[in-house]
Structure 1
């Protein structure tokens, strides 16, 4: 049975097949969760990311997890929020779909997501949570290879927003 968990956690400590990195288009590290993942994974991650040629917004690429408990990192490039007029909602939804597709393609059974685009990219948290939860739920209904999805929340505000979104979807 597929299961979605919402919890406050440091995504870099989770023992899952893959964690998702809220990456920038260069894939070479940055602030927030991106920087934390690069620091925890070690310098080999940066070397690998430099060979990938970046990534377009709404898409994702996979690397090994290096020094993380997770076997893989799926780097998803979320949109910057410009008020909703630049396809931001569709691009964010695509991040979740692409990450899940890559996980299924690699026969991974567990994956953890951060709040993609909710930090420096300023995506409104309530709407981001609805999109994230809805996309994960739709994906899990259409296939059965992924058994566990964790939403790793950086604080109680995000955790509460996801719990509220889970009741709406």
Structure 2
């Protein structure tokens, strides 16, 4: 009797684990942040927070992300029930524009890794959703430093003074 009960209980646990890890009709809402001041920083930070709901209920499944072919880890906050994806780029190499963050569940990410190993196209793998992060570019300072502008103005004043003096003496 207890053996049958144990088998039924383990089947129920396996079924609930399988049904909990899948997400039907997912919905993503996101907010994104990027570093905008690159004058004294060496790296630009890209951060995207998003909430995932499955059938209108908050989801609690492990997720993975990919941006431009690079795999990224997705972390879930216990306090806010939000997922967070972040990465860094060097300031000089950081492009501006839209970044598509493809979000995968366990099965989707395993299919992406398999396609990459086999040299196949990963665009056919279904995603849980796509989050778009916009980076307008980082401010790296003025085109001309203030020291250079002061030297240019000083030479301009010196040139004007010398030419005016020579005209007056002639």
TM-score (norm 2): 0.24
Q: Which has the higher contact order (CA 8 A, sep 6+)?
A: 1
TM-score (norm 1): 0.24
Q: Which has the higher strand share?
A: 2
